[in-house]
């Protein structure tokens, strides 16, 4: 049935029913009034972020189903909460969609959003559903908590800090390229990167794990691409960085696909967006003793890729020791690339 | 200059600079990190709401300039904060716009948003700027505070409560109709209703005034139209209502325009959306002694229009005493009207 025949309030009523009993104690009033009402925990700060996914810019319905689109939208916002080492409390969904979309498509989209949300204890607590003339817009605002004064900023990287990243870099871009070109490759090798593109994982638990064990100085999530996001850390902290090319964690799936496409996998690792991994800096040596346990706990690598230096440039160190200036070539809306 | 030549990060940097020193003490980190960080006041609850304005659904650039569009978007979200009797702390702007829009248009839009925001101490504390394939989407999330346990809900209307509304009903719709048809009418008479459409006022201060002086049982803002929004109160409170037609506050501008268009001004008053006035219920008699002071303070009427009754229907009482069932005919996205 088309949304045109359902009506906004029926959709909202359905979401409200689905969320009953899923609110944490801090959420006093969820969906159903002019505002959601929260009673924040004592001794916590609140963190809040908003992210929009636009059809045919961030996603399309040829490569992804509505469930995956919903999950991806929720993952993008939760990833910002992870980047501050926060715990989500709830989300607001502002969704604009053409009236000729099907009720079933909307329900799948919602299922993708709420399934990932529930996985991270982030129920929908409010929102706004509107019609769009053309194209689907999904905006998700997430509100979360951190211990007072402990939100992890971009602006506190120190000279000499090691730069670490979780997971594999460039996998999401590799997955996208696979879906674009559909080369005939061993499915088993490329399946993980397709999965990373279609169903990214916000590193909420990984970030909490790290912060509880180690003094992290600065952190960001890699949403635009390492070359852009590490730059955000450097600019906010007024420092530079050196990245060692050979240390970049690149999966065998990404390497295979890059080779097949005649592209350097380093390009994807440095400039591919939407990996939603964490990039963090910490004093030399402090992460070493937790690497093994982290990797066993999350079945995910955590890799030292460089060092914070004086200046304002990010330099890429190649194997022969040559250094190149790394330009920010991650995603930038409105920029011509 | 087109946005395509400016780039997302330049736009964000400009907003960040503009917001420096405008944050209330509760905002620890505004624009510039993965999340905004807030340290909520002790003994306060937090309230949060989100609203989207879509080009050619909620507004178009023929009738409104970008400054007015921005103000209208901020007013819609602030109006939800007013409806809970809250005080805003800050806003997140998620804006999607085509790359061929001009930098100057974006700046005007932003100016409209931030000017109204500053008027109500609601600076931008975060956001997300993305490209859209077609059309402008403006989503504003506002976070605010209310005294603990004092958020004014829809769900507490009591049998026998009087129903009151602030301001004039139907003015916004009248203003819209004027801009659609441009009839030749005395400008002085229609100017106020055009103004109400183009530059709606969120009733933040009016709501706080009322709550500090009177025990209000339930409140909502009239964004979809009285017939729909009063129904939200009735449904949430499990009560019915009787509205006396002759009591509906209709301005001379709306009456003049309705007559000129051959339409009943009651239709606009009952079903016209986006007046952003407050509809509230309170025990019989308790508002009477503040009416005069309210009207002098805000130069705005506050009018008793009906009563909460048992049942679930909203009845419209006409002058001869005849009663009609009032159907919800306010705005409903996706519904066929």
Nearest CA in chain A to B76: A34
State the best of A52, A98, A273 to mutate against chain B, taking most chain B CBs within 10 Å. A52
Q: Look at residue A335 in the predicted model and tell me its pLDDT.
A: 58
Nearest CA in chain A to B218: A33
Q: What are the beta bridge partners of residue B48?
A: A36, B143
Domains A7-147 and A162-325 share a fold: no
For residues A228-267, b (16+ Cβ closer than 10 Å) or e, as one string?
bbbbbbbbbbebbbbbbbeebbbbebbbbbbebbeeebbe
Decide: A88 and A78 in contact? Cβ < 8 Å.
Answer: yes
Please give the average per-residue pLDDT across B192-206, as a whole number: 96
Please give the average per-residue pLDDT across B247-269, as a whole number: 94
Euclidean distance between CA atoms B50 and B139, whole angstroms: 7
Euclidean distance between CA atoms B23 and B19, whole angstroms: 7
Please give the average per-residue pLDDT across A221-248, as a whole number: 95
What are B279-297's pLDDT values in tens digits?
A: 999 999 999 999 999 999 9
Domain boundaries, chain B: 3-147, 162-325
State the best of B33, B133, B216 to mutate against chain A, taking most chain A CBs within 10 Å. B33
Which two tokens mark A109? Answer: 């989209």
Q: Look at residue B334 in the predicted model and tell me its pLDDT.
A: 62
Which two tokens mark A146? Answer: 């951190």
Q: Look at residue B337 in the predicted model and tell me its pLDDT.
A: 40
Residue B36 has pLDDT above 80, yes or no: yes
Chain B residue numbers touching A57 (CB-CB < 8 A): 130-133
How many other C-beta atoms can be found within 10 angstroms of the C-beta atom of residue B247? 13
Is B267 an 8 Å CB contact of chain A?
no
How many other C-beta atoms can be found within 10 angstroms of the C-beta atom of residue B310? 10
Residue B154 has pLDDT above 80, yes or no: yes
What are B257-267's pLDDT values in tens digits?
A: 999 999 999 99
- Contacts (Cβ under 8 Å, ≥6 apart) of B240: B234, B308, B309, B310, B311, B312, B313, B314, B315
Give the closest-approach CA distance of A169 to chain B in angstroms.
Answer: 19
Q: What are the beta bridge partners of residue A165?
A: A279, A303
Per-window interface: B 111-150 vs A, CB < 8 A: 125-135, 137, 139, 141, 143-144, 146, 148
Q: Which of A206, A202, A192, A238 is CA-nearest to residue A223?
A: A202
Superfamily for the B162-325 domain: PurM-like C-terminal domain (3.90.650.10)
Is B235 an 8 Å CB contact of chain A?
no
Give the closest-approach CA distance of A105 to chain B in angstroms.
Answer: 14
- Contacts (Cβ under 8 Å, ≥6 apart) of B24: B89, B90, B121, B123
What are A276-325's pLDDT values in tens digits?
A: 999 999 999 999 999 999 999 999 999 999 999 999 999 999 888 899 89
Q: Look at residue B330 in the predicted model and tell me its pLDDT.
A: 67
What are A184-201's pLDDT values in tens digits?
A: 888 888 999 999 999 999
Put simply, the answer to whether B8 touches A49 (Cβ < 8 Å) is: no
Q: What are phi and psi of B12, to 5 degrees?
A: -65, -40
pLDDT confidence bin for B84, thresholds 50/70/90: very high
Which residue of A81, A131, A221 is in closest CB contact with B54? A131
| CATH code of the domain occupying A7-147 | 3.30.1330.10
Which two tokens mark A135? Answer: 């194209």
Give the H or E element holding residue B232: helix B226-237
What are B167-187's pLDDT values in tens digits?
A: 999 999 999 999 999 998 888
Which residue of A35, A131, A335 is in closest CB contact with B333? A131
Handedness of CA B63, B64, B65, B69 (dihedral sign): negative
Decide: B82 and B278 in contact? Cβ < 8 Å.
Answer: yes
In Å, what is the CA distance from A193 to each residue of A116, A196, A226? 19, 5, 17
Residue B268 has pLDDT above 60, yes or no: yes
Q: How high does pLDDT run on average in chain B? A: 93
A:B CB pairs within 8 Å:
245
Give the closest-approach CA distance of A126 to chain B in angstroms.
Answer: 7
Please give the average per-residue pLDDT across A95-105, as a whole number: 93
State the best of A41, A56, A123, A334 to mutate against chain B, taking most chain B CBs within 10 Å. A334
How many other C-beta atoms can be found within 10 angstroms of the C-beta atom of residue A155? 16
Decide: A168 and A200 in contact? Cβ < 8 Å.
Answer: no
Decide: B128 and B9 in contact? Cβ < 8 Å.
Answer: no
ipTM above 0.85, yes or no: yes
Nearest CA in chain A to B37: A47
Complete edge-to-edge strand list for the sheet that includes strand B162-166: B216-222, B277-282, B162-166, B302-309, B240-244, B314-317, B323-325
pLDDT confidence bin for B333, thresholds 50/70/90: low
- Span B3-147 CATH architecture: 2-Layer Sandwich (3.30)
Chain B residue numbers touching A336 (CB-CB < 8 A): 4-5
């Amino acid at each position: 049935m088309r949304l045109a025949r359902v009506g906004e309030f029926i959709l909202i009523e359905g979401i409200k029913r689905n969320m009953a009993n899923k609110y944490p104690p801090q959420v006093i009033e969820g969906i159903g009034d002019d505002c959601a009402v929260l009673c924040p925990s004592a001794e916590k700060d609140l963190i809040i972020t908003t992210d929009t996914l636009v059809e045919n810019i961030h996603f399309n319905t040829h490569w992804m189903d509505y469930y995956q689109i919903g999950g991806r939208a929720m993952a993008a916002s939760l990833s910002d909460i992870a980047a501050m080492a926060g715990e989500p409390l709830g989300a607001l969904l502002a969704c604009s969609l053409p009236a000729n979309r099907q009720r079933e498509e909307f329900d799948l989209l919602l299922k993708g959003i709420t399934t990932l949300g529930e996985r991270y204890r982030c129920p929908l607590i409010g929102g706004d559903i509107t019609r769009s003339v053309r194209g689907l817009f999904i905006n998700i605002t997430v509100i979360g908590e951190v211990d007072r004064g402990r939100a992890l900023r971009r602006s506190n990287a120190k000279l000499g800090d090691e730069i670490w990243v979780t997971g594999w870099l460039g996998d999401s871009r590799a997955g996208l390229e696979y879906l674009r070109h559909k080369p005939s490759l061993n499915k088993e090798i490329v399946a993980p990167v397709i999965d990373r593109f279609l169903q990214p994982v916000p590193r909420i638990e990984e970030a909490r794990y790290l912060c509880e064990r180690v003094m992290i100085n600065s952190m960001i999530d890699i949403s635009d691409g390492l070359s852009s996001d590490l730059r955000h850390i450097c600019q906010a902290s007024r420092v530079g960085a050196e990245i060692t090319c050979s240390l970049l964690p690149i999966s065998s799936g990404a390497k295979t696909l890059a080779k097949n496409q005649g592209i350097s996998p380093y390009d994807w690792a440095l400039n591919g967006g939407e990996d939603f991994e964490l990039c963090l800096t910490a004093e030399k040596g402090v992460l070493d003793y937790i690497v093994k346990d982290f990797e066993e706990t999350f079945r995910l690598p955590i890799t030292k890729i460089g060092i914070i230096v004086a200046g304002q440039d990010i330099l890429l160190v190649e194997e022969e020791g040559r250094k190149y200036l790394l330009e920010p070539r991650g995603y930038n809306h409105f920029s011509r690339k």
